[in-house]
Amino acid sequence: MAIAAALRFEVIRDTIGLLTFDQPGSRANTLGQAVLAEFAQMLAALEKRTDLSGLILASGKPGMFIAGADLNELGSATPEPEQTRKLVQRGHDIIARFEKLPFPSVAAIDGACMGGGLEVALGCDYRIAGSHPKTEIGLPEVKIGLFPGWGGTQRLPRLIGPALAVELICAGEAVPAARARDLGIVFDAVPSDKLLDEAVRLLAWSKQSGDWKEARRKKQQPVGLTEEQHAFTFAVAKAQVLAKTKGQFPAPLAALEAIARGCNVPLDEALKVESELFVPLVGSPISKNLIAVFFMTQKLQKDPGVDAAVSPRTVERVGVLGAGLMGAGIAGAHIRRGVPALMLDSDARALEKGIAAIAKVMHTRIEIGRMKPDEMLKAMSLLNSTGNLSLMADRDVVIEAVVENEAVKTQVYRDLQPILKKDAILASNTSTISITRMAQATDRPERFAGMHFFNPVDRMPLVEVIRGEKTSDETVVTLVALAKRIGKSPIVVRDCPGFLVNRILFPYINESLALLEEGADPRAIDKAAVTFGMPMGPITLKDLVGLDTSLYAGRVVNQAFADRAKNTRILDELVSAGRLGQKSGAGFYSYAKGSRGVDDPALAGFLAKCNAGKRAINAEEITDRLFLPMLTEASRVLAEGIVRQPSDVDMGLILGIAFPAFRGGLLRWADTIGLAKVLEKLKVYEKLGPRFQPTEEMRKLAAAGKGFYAG
């Protein structure tokens, strides 16, 4: 048989066909239209073979079975139902042809088997998984605004039951080989070097026993839930999906409906139901945005941080100054990824608390199955603590995380610089203080930068790598590489007040205070933000962060950008009264007796002191006023070259403040609306001041009918 571009066929063990998928010029095997055409051609030839006793589908790429559909094709798809139906039917036809081969088939999975890749594997009679560390099996389509549209919502429930299938499909999570075996997705999980032999044995057994024919027959039949089982299973599942997605993601709900409507009818009818619900999602704004975020994430992972060809320095040892919340979190992040860390604090009790905090995080990870006890022991063995600054002499990178006070920080730098190696890098975890200015306290400004972690460090993926005026490219790429090594997503930012995330966040926070003082209800403000897709509203966020922290950090940014900062009093009044948010038991809401925040009648008195007026403010105005000033500030950030590209802004906000990914990020949200429409919205509020005035770049793009990404 002729060798195809992506598929290679050979006969092994006399009568076993081995079909190897090895897409040329790509690290992954993806199911684009060209590859599907090859599969169709190959299957047409296999259907005529009378000399084969079985077929093994395998991959020629180590650690990769099939990554799924070609996201470039899906991302560029337009919502054209008839065209989409044809493309979906092509996938259905190919998978159905596997199920009609005149001999049994087995998918030998050794590596990532995702989405359409698993759907193809489900078309085989059996699946067997190898032990490669990258072997993960799942249907993650809901994460890109879709659901499995090549039969996954129908074949998986018939294999493992509707309840488990709903859990996997609607969450979009992958499982390792052993878990896939326990669930029944794969027949067995075996060592990778035995995978081919075991696949051959499985085919021989199935051929001899005839089990493959019975397996095919069962797959075509309804699952057979009783009316009561069906009602209970899908009522519980819907409640869980709504609780997790807040109804903002249509794909999980559509997947749930497909499973519910399809599980009790024959497979051919069920596949029609699946297609009916799948087609409207393809090319939808949410799907396009989530696919765009996927590609932005990949781009960020590959970005070295600078445009020049500069190699990072080797980092073998890291020092952390400060054992508080952030210092302990930073040290813990390094040792979990195998980087030895020395944590320093002048207070022995602070060191004890810091070490305990690191251990507590690891114990929590063990409890949820994200870490093993021996891995914790290994990580903790990489942690040392000290009160002696001179022990930082052998560190390649030292990250300062002491109190957010410039005088204290710069004195630490002066004390430290005679001790450090000449080529050591010093980084500050500051969230507000100028990197360029603090670098003047050192004799090595080219090896000084910001490395701003977000709280809590163990859960927040973003790290802002801030370059001062004299920070070298080598320093930047070294810190970017280090951040990636410890599992973080670094974004390089040029020094400015608030850097990237806080600079764009503060207009949102500031406007929420202005709305309060105009008479908006705090719950209405929070509800508008959550409805938009934020994980919590700005009022609740301030209580969580601490009103004193919000007040002082806000002053830095508001003073720097005084022309577009709205002066408000409410934070000053509450902080002066000792109402600091959750940590003090009261802020905008009451947290007495451990509550999660209830309305507090006492707030009315504070608002009465600050109200400039009292008027009804509807949800649309609240939403516009929260997010439009963020957008104009983001446009300024781009114009000033604070970041290098629009995706840095969007990924920074998605990773740093959980801006809703289904909107594609702040700038992509504006592109989705259309900048001409955005300018119309801004015009309504321009009387409120410069924060609602579009930038010149926004005007130019709108006039040209372009967006931030299409400009």
Strands (E), 287-424: 318-321, 341-344, 383-386, 397-400
* Active site amino acids: 452
DSSP single-letter state for residue 450: E
Please compute, for residue 631, the number of CA atoms within 13 A of its CA located in the half-sphere on the CB side: 27
Residue type at 613? Answer: G
Please compute, for residue 462, the number of CA atoms within 13 A of its CA located in the half-sphere on the CB side: 25
| 335 vs 382: CA distance, rounded Å | 6
**Maximum Cα–Cα distance for the chain, whole Å?**
89
| 597 vs 585: CA distance, rounded Å | 9
Residue type at 555? Answer: R
Q: Tokens representing 440?
A: 């003047």
List the end-to-end C-alpha distance of the chain, in Å, as a whole number: 49
Question: CB–CB of 195/104 below 8 Å?
Answer: no
Question: CB–CB of 450/483 below 8 Å?
Answer: no
Rg (CA), the chain: 28
| 79 vs 573: CA distance, rounded Å | 52
Displacement of CA 293 from its chain's centroid (Å): 8
What is the phi/psi pair of residue 485, to 5°?
-60, -35
Q: Angle between the 619-639 and 675-685 helix axes, to the nearest 10 degrees?
A: 110
Q: Tokens representing 378?
A: 């290994």
Residue type at 407? Answer: A
